Structure 1
Amino acid sequence: MHFMTPTLWAGLSLLTASVLGAATFENPVIWQDYPDLDVFRIGDVFYYSSSTFAFSPGAPVLKSYDLVNWAPVSHSVPRLNFGPKYDLNNATSRAYVQGIWASTLQYQESTDTFYWMGCIADGPTYVWTASGTNAAANNGEVEHWNWTSQGSLPRCYYDNGLLIDDDDTMYMAYGKTTINVAQLNANGTAEVKTEAVYTSPDEVYIEGSRMYKINGTYYIWVTKPADDEYVLKSDNIWGPYERQVLVDSIEGPLSNAGNAHQGGIVSIKDGQWYYVAFLDAYPGGRIPVVAPLTWTEDGWPQVVRVNNEWGKTYPIPVHMNKTVPVTTGVDSFQGPLLSHEWEWNHNPDDSAWSLDGGLHLRTATVTEDLFTARNTLTRRIPGPKSAGTFKIDVSGLKDGDRTGAVLFRDIAAYIGVYKSGNTSSLVMVDELNLGTNWVTNSTGTVAATGPTLAANTTNVWLRIEADITPAFSGTTAVRVTTFWYSTDGHSFTQLGEPFSMTNTWQFFTGYRFGVFNFATQALGGKVTVKSFDLEML
């Protein structure tokens, strides 16, 4: 990777990017919940990793050619190997708001190995690798991923950022308020030493480390959540480090959302750097934004602002004839694998689902509580407004089974089908609530009942229309979701009143579309999800 010197950077402005073309992009670049990001480039390809908490598979890997258009292509953690509570075996062993957060993903060219590392629940730091991808030899392209667990490191590298130095030495920046640097062994599976390199002198809480080496200078980017970003700089990996404020509660680019902070930086081939941060934008979650950087004569980065704010638009960083596929449209679940837009609520019971002419969901749990039901499959909601429609074959339901389409979060609602005896009825259920310590406070209330399905009914279409326009700050507005059903796939009827979404941040992840099937009496029933249609409204 080639870098431009700080002296050359000093004279650059936003006009530099415009020589690549007049087209602009609009922030946010991904209006979906992809927080705590790590970002880097191999050849022509940008890669991006994000938090997933208890969703499985975890740590999605996204791909882009221009830093604007992104699509998920893999998950660094194919199955959460962090203990039995990640399997959602019962109501007292669950991992809500635990799991993967602020982890790191980087690529070592000399060994052709991707490294993912993440501290789990203040315990060990788990390591997963993907080798033999030929990413560097193929200009960044990867056709096949082979993620393999390398066990764990005993220390919690909290909010960690991996740097692979010019001589291939691995370093990890981590910590909160006091920032540490650890040196790892050659394959990243053991610690050589660790030292505290910076303690916030004003007792300001900082975290979210990302580490870089640019022109022989070491940088550690840290955030003061949830508004500011600081930069630490030193000529020596072990310090001492100086600090400057990069952004301090910078406004924009969305109304009623938080300020851009955290994230990481990446350069394009001409040497220009970009900062990829995220905004708290509930009820949709935390969504990424991009801005170009300039550099001062003495090597400090600065965000290019528009009217002293984070720009709503900037020139597109890279123009090329490649792009990634769109993530909207119809998924018919033809297999052989689920697409990487999908993540299960906790690890799935793999004996109870399959792909063969649709997604077959056999009941995996006997419970009254959706938050305890295994094999609920979820997908991020794109904003600002979108709809997700599941076509479900309900002919295999058994007495007591419940299936449906859920607006999934700690305060949730769904539209579904209840089977009672030989009767199948449409229902809209709200007031599902995870309370204190994420223990179920309410399993929901039937707020509206639709028609009883004819005995020969095979397919129903269940639709959720969601408005996740930010309502996180500066407003008392409440965003709502509506639930719809159809028995022919063409004419839809709303069931129940609009559901008010929560704008709180404590669950961290934003609302998701989901589909479920669980039993309240005995296992044995099944449904087939024939398709999912995601469209913008």
Structure 2
Amino acid sequence: MSGSLVLRTGLAIAALAVASALPAQVWRSDQGDGTYRNPVLFADYPDPDIIRVGEDFYFVTTTFANAPGITILHSKDLVNWRIASHVIKRLDGDPRYDLKEGGAYRHGFYAASLRHHDGLFAIAVTPVGHKTRIYRSARIEGPWTYKELDIEAFDPALFFDDDGTAYLGTSVGTDGTLTLLTLNKDLSAIAATRQAYYNKGAEGSKIIRHNGWYYLFNAIPSKLAMTVSRSRSLWGPWETRPSIDDKTGGHQGAIVDLPDGSWYGFVMVDAGAIGRMTNISPIFWKDEWPVWGTPDAPDQVPDRSPKPIQGLPFAEPDSSDDFSGPRLGLQWQWNHNPDDSRWSLTQHPGFLRLHATQADGIWTARNTLTQKAQGPRARAVVKLDTSGIRPGDVCGFGSFGKYSAQLSVVGGPKGTRGLQMQLTESTSDAPRTQLRVPARPIEGRTLWLRTDMDFGAREGRVAYSLDNRRWSELGGAFPLAFDWRTGTFQGQQLALSCYNPEPGGGYLDVDSFTLSALPTGEGS
């Protein structure tokens, strides 16, 4: 772990103590005294693009193969966020999104660009290995429709100029040449293509216009750094300056204006097993250049700062759930497109029912229901009804990612059930699973399972209880990690799963899911 990450983790834990009056919360950026702490969300919300429409801020983030896809959050003050919608209900265009012909982990939909123009929200996104899409909707909640272009534009940067002309900027870090694609009026086709700028290693572009200048923000992933460029014309010449990096705040993002005319920056920072988090920062202008931080501490994202907009209430994405509603909460996503015949909120009212899907392990099992883990130290507890478990079923709860530690109920002969702990590591060849604790008999139909995650220690633990009072750990500590090459390209997730190597099988009923801070003195 880098020194900067250790420092930020220490500050995060200190901030957690400030929020101890609200025990249901894992992390609170809003300190309740007119200030906030970074990150604004202590979870994996990567590749941020944030815009303002009137008094509302919208934040689009990467979701890869998770479904529904392309998450949008909403805020009134850039600090307190709630999930507003998902753009894509079901991923389309590739059988792998259905876990057929292999899976789409590390692929799917990422690095979307969000804009608002002429009363419509517009999103440019390029599914990995596919053509670029432009989604549009009059409402942030949707419905969204899309048109596909005839080009695969990497990390597309959607930009509307003052005359209404729409452009896509695209640059791949291995090349670094920014190409500007002029779109036709209805955003359905490329009208012109022109190379505009070269910046070695640049990708993740964002383009804005301010005070007669065009500003271009680029990530330089090889250096975990960001540059800012400016020009009087989109076609150059461009001047470029280094900006911040992961040691001073982050390496991919841009800036957004506030209703009062001031500016704030948003930036992604690699943060270990939790994933890639978003920081926000005051921006001041010097010689027509945007500078992160304050004049007293320039080129540095502050760990703590006055809130951009004062007086608005605390808000956070939903997490805990009693499954009593008619649809899943927006905090939940499936690991790929679900098989909708194999899950239900109505077959056992007040419960989520997961029918066993046929698979040889969690990595290949459909209908694994996930939500983002939260830091710095979190505890998740599920209450289960196991009476529907059948022979061969493996149904349980735990972590999901580079390392997937699952505490599972295993169906045995003649209605018997056992509890086992297994750890699956995703590798470049095939997932490797080790059975840490073989199935041990359990009695009764009601069971509580618990997953603890300590991101400072980079360790997790699982435990079970028959009464929600006395708990027993199984399997010892397991690692928490982020690996974009062989993992999911996401921070650790929490996951409910139910599968069986054979067809048929039974089901798992989930009564509730509760997420809270890991109590002081517990964990690693």
Do Structure 1 and Structure 2 share a fold, with TM-score over 0.5?
A: yes
For residues 113 and 374 of structure 2, what CA distance do their matches in structure 1 show?
24
For residues 322 and 192 of structure 1, what CA distance do their matches in structure 2 show?
45
Say if 2:137 and 2:145, in contact at 8 Å, map to a contact too. no
Aligned to 1:401: 393
Aligned to 2:434: 445
Aligned to 2:137: 130
Say if 1:122 and 1:158, in contact at 8 Å, map to a contact too. no
For residues 339 and 128 of structure 1, what CA distance do their matches in structure 2 show?
23
Alignment CA distance shift 1:85-1:505 (3 Å): closer
How big is the shift at 1:417?
Answer: 0.5
2:156 matches 1:160? yes
Q: Share of identical aligned residues, percent?
A: 32
2:109 matches 1:103? no
2:447 matches 1:460? yes
Alignment CA distance shift 1:412-1:45 (3 Å): same
2:420 matches 1:427? yes
Aligned to 1:183: 182
For residues 68 and 402 of structure 1, what CA distance do their matches in structure 2 show?
40
Say if 1:160 and 1:208, in contact at 8 Å, map to a contact too. yes
The one of 509, 512, 517 aligned to 2:498? 517
For residues 507 and 33 of structure 2, what CA distance do their matches in structure 1 show?
53
Provide the secondary structure at the position in 1 that maps to 2:196: strand
Mapping for residues 222-261 of structure 1, pairs under 5 Å: 222-225=218-221, 226-247=223-244, 249=245, 251-252=247-248, 260-261=250-251
For residues 459 and 93 of structure 1, what CA distance do their matches in structure 2 show?
35
Structure 1 unaligned runs (5+)?
1-20, 134-141, 253-258, 470-477
Alignment CA distance shift 1:404-1:250 (3 Å): closer
Provide the secondary structure at the position in 2 that maps to 1:351: helix
Provide the secondary structure at the position in 1 that maps to 2:97: helix
Provide the secondary structure at the position in 1 that maps to 2:341: helix
Aligned to 2:12: none
2:125 matches 1:118? yes
How big is the shift at 1:335?
Answer: 2.5
Aligned to 1:75: 86
How big is the shift at 1:325?
Answer: 4.5
Say if 2:335 and 2:370, in contact at 8 Å, map to a contact too. yes
The one of 296, 300, 307 aligned to 1:316? 307
2:262 matches 1:269? no
For residues 351 and 168 of structure 1, what CA distance do their matches in structure 2 show?
45
For residues 383 and 324 of structure 1, what CA distance do their matches in structure 2 show?
17
How big is the shift at 1:126?
Answer: 2.1
For residues 157 and 324 of structure 1, what CA distance do their matches in structure 2 show?
35
For residues 35 and 67 of structure 2, what CA distance do their matches in structure 1 show?
35
Q: Deviations over 1:188-232 (max 9, x none)?
A: 1211112110012xxx31100111111232111101115211112
The one of 321, 329, 333 aligned to 1:331? 321
For residues 241 and 316 of structure 2, what CA distance do their matches in structure 1 show?
39
How big is the shift at 1:332?
Answer: 0.8
Aligned to 2:285: 295
Aligned to 1:40: 51
For residues 237 and 516 of structure 1, what CA distance do their matches in structure 2 show?
49
For residues 499 and 230 of structure 1, what CA distance do their matches in structure 2 show?
38
Alignment CA distance shift 1:97-1:250 (3 Å): closer
How big is the shift at 1:440?
Answer: 2.4
Aligned residues: 475
Alignment CA distance shift 1:168-1:358 (3 Å): farther
Q: Deviations over 1:322-357 (max 9, x none)?
A: 5534534x3011222211111110111112112222
Say if 1:65 and 1:324, in contact at 8 Å, map to a contact too. no
RMSD: 1.9
2:478 matches 1:499? yes
How big is the shift at 1:449?
Answer: 4.1
For residues 262 and 275 of structure 1, what CA distance do their matches in structure 2 show?
10
Q: Deviations over 1:177-197 (max 9, x none)?
A: 001111112221211112110
2:70 matches 1:30? no
The one of 150, 156, 163 aligned to 2:146? 150
Say if 2:76 and 2:312, in contact at 8 Å, map to a contact too. no
Aligned to 1:536: 517
Provide the secondary structure at the position in 2 that maps to 1:336: coil
Aligned to 1:198: 197
Say if 1:64 and 1:323, in contact at 8 Å, map to a contact too. no
For residues 127 and 393 of structure 1, what CA distance do their matches in structure 2 show?
43
Say if 1:197 and 1:239, in contact at 8 Å, map to a contact too. yes
Structure 2 unaligned runs (5+)?
1-31, 519-524
TM-score (norm 2): 0.87
Say if 1:210 and 1:264, in contact at 8 Å, map to a contact too. yes
Aligned to 2:24: none
Provide the secondary structure at the position in 1 that maps to 2:122: strand
How big is the shift at 1:405?
Answer: 0.6
For residues 517 and 250 of structure 1, what CA distance do their matches in structure 2 show?
38
Alignment CA distance shift 1:488-1:450 (3 Å): farther
Say if 1:397 and 1:527, in contact at 8 Å, map to a contact too. yes
Aligned to 1:5: none
Provide the secondary structure at the position in 1 that maps to 2:114: strand
Say if 2:403 and 2:479, in contact at 8 Å, map to a contact too. no
Q: Which amino acid aligns with 1:526?
A: Y
Say if 1:65 and 1:323, in contact at 8 Å, map to a contact too. no
Provide the secondary structure at the position in 2 that maps to 1:85: helix
Q: Which amino acid aligns with 2:416?
A: T
Q: Which amino acid aligns with 1:243?
A: T
Q: Which runs of 4+ in 1 moved over 4 A?
A: none
Q: Which amino acid aligns with 1:246?
A: S
